[in-house]
């Protein structure tokens, strides 16, 4: 499978100087710096090596600091810096999963230095993300009622302008671009959920296991959801390897993945993750119906749209499970902390909407490029 060390580096672009303070207008080649980090990931005895030769990390660390300021501390933020940071963070986070690749790729999975880099990015990113939500207001809510109302609103929302574009205008080339970006998550679906299933047994845990089992085709590879996604890719002769289209993935989509890595790796965030997963399962079918409508309009084969049909059926059921058998019971189990369920729900919606807009922008750019070449 596509490994941590063979992903293509970030395409070389200039730093947006207008997003960086005057004293920080430094010409940073993020592609080169990312490649340096990839080499660090593959270094034997990384921490000992860096202790002996600290100069090996100097350019990366200075670039990391500038990128954090550019992305999170200077107004609107620099998209190039966001992308660099989310790619670095993802390269660290993905080591929490097994990719059936060369075992040597995991030599630094418990490196204190990598954990330090991860925490540095996550801390800045989470402060920035949380600043966009009125957390104090969430703490005053009737959590049970708030969750019920949010789920009712998001189950079948009105069509947005982007949704209409997908349904009514997106070309077959745009559909293939959608699949390429979607494969980033679709080919490893459910993997992060597995990180929170261990522990004491109760009805909430069993419901989460049921969700995971259905995502994994109840242990049958032919029925696993990622298998259906791979079939859609194969129908167009596209790359079916996980992360095969990593370079197309907008930073907003990477941010969703990294956010969920954080929530699933830290049990203190269990309620936030459960709230976020509730939104994801409730709102998913509405998005999948848009993609299915586009495929049907384009006259594509059943194999080229089968994943969406499967998800519409199963996620409607998963959404009910998540609300009735996970989120609402957790409000009773954790009455003082239950507001975190709503925080997780709202964050998943905020980051998901941002990612969806970025995907549509990317599709439009790809379609325009094709038109320009014709």
Q: How many domains in the chain?
A: 2
175 and 300 part of one domain: yes
Q: Name the least confident of 23-32, 55-64, 210-219, 298-307.
A: 23-32
Query: Residue 220's pLDDT is what?
Result: 96
Output the domain CATH number for residue 147: 1.20.910.10
Q: Summarize the confidence of residues 143-157 as an average pLDDT.
A: 97
Answer whether residue 264 shows pLDDT above 70.
yes
pLDDT (tens digit per residue) in 194-218: 999 999 999 999 999 999 999 999 9
Residue 10: inside a domain: no
Choose the final residue of a domain: 130, 159, 194.
130
Choose the final residue of a domain: 130, 162, 184.
130
Residue 4: inside a domain: no
193 and 209 part of one domain: yes
Distance CA 284, CA 318 (A): 10
Query: Residue 95's pLDDT is what?
Result: 97
90 and 152 part of one domain: no
Under a CB-based contact definition with an 8 Å cutoff, are residues 33 and 81 in contact?
Answer: no
Query: Residue 258's pLDDT is what?
Result: 98
Q: Summarize the confidence of residues 1-9 as an average pLDDT.
A: 38
Answer whether residue 51 shows pLDDT above 50.
yes
Under the banding of pLDDT at 50, 70 and 90, the label for residue 4 is very low
112 and 140 part of one domain: no
95 and 173 part of one domain: no
Answer whether residue 107 shows pLDDT above 70.
yes
Distance CA 74, CA 21 (A): 8
Residue 240: inside a domain: yes
44 and 176 part of one domain: no
As a whole-number percent, the residues of the chain with pLDDT over 90 amount to 89
Taking the alpha carbons at both ends of the chain, their separation in whole angstroms is 34
pLDDT (tens digit per residue) in 305-333: 999 999 898 989 999 999 999 999 999 99
Q: What average pLDDT does the chain have?
A: 92
115 and 167 part of one domain: no
Query: Residue 9's pLDDT is what?
Result: 42
Distance CA 347, CA 327 (A): 15
Domain that holds residue 122: 17-130
Query: Residue 186's pLDDT is what?
Result: 96
Residue 315 vs residues 106, 118, 230, 268, 335: alpha-carbon distances, Å = 33, 32, 19, 26, 27
Residue 299: inside a domain: yes
pTM: 0.92
144 and 219 part of one domain: yes
202 and 63 part of one domain: no
255 and 293 part of one domain: yes
306 and 210 part of one domain: yes
């Amino acid at each position: 499978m596509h490994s941590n060390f063979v992903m293509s580096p970030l395409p070389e672009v200039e730093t947006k100087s207008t997003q960086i303070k005057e004293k920080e207008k430094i010409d940073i080649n993020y592609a080169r710096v990312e490649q340096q980090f990839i080499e660090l990931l593959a270094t034997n005895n990384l921490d000992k090596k860096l202790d002996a030769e600290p100069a090996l990390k100097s350019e990366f660390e200075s670039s990391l600091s500038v990128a954090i300021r550019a992305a999170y501390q200077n107004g609107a933020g620099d998209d190039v810096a966001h992308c660099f940071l989310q790619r670095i963070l993802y390269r660290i986070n993905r080591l929490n999963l097994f990719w059936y690749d060369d075992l040597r790729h995991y030599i630094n999975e418990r490196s204190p230095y990598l954990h330090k880099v991860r925490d540095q990015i996550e801390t800045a990113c989470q402060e920035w993300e949380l600043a966009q939500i009125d957390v104090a207001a969430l703490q005053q809510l009737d959590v049970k009622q708030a969750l019920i109302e949010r789920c009712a609103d998001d189950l079948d929302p009105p069509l947005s302008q982007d949704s209409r574009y997908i349904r009514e205008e997106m070309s077959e080339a745009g559909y293939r671009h959608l699949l390429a970006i979607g494969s980033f998550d679709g080919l490893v679906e459910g993997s992060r959920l597995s990180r929170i299933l261990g522990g004491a047994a109760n009805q909430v845990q069993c419901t989460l296991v049921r969700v995971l089992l259905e995502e994994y085709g109840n242990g049958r590879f032919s029925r696993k959801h990622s298998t259906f996604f791979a079939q859609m890719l194969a129908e167009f002769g596209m790359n079916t390897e996980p992360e095969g289209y990593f370079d197309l993935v907008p930073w907003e989509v990477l941010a969703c993945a990294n956010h969920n890595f954080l929530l699933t790796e830290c049990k203190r965030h269990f309620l936030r993750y459960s709230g976020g997963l509730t939104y994801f399962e409730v709102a998913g079918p509405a998005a999948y119906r848009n993609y299915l409508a586009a495929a049907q309009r384009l006259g594509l084969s059943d194999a080229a749209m089968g994943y969406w049909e499967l998800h519409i059926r199963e996620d409607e059921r998963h959404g009910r499970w998540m609300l009735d058998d996970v989120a609402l019971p957790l409000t009773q189990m954790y009455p003082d902390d239950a507001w975190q369920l709503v925080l997780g729900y709202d964050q998943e919606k905020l980051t998901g909407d941002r990612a969806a807009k970025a995907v549509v922008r990317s599709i439009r750019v790809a379609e325009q490029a094709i038109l320009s070449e014709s």
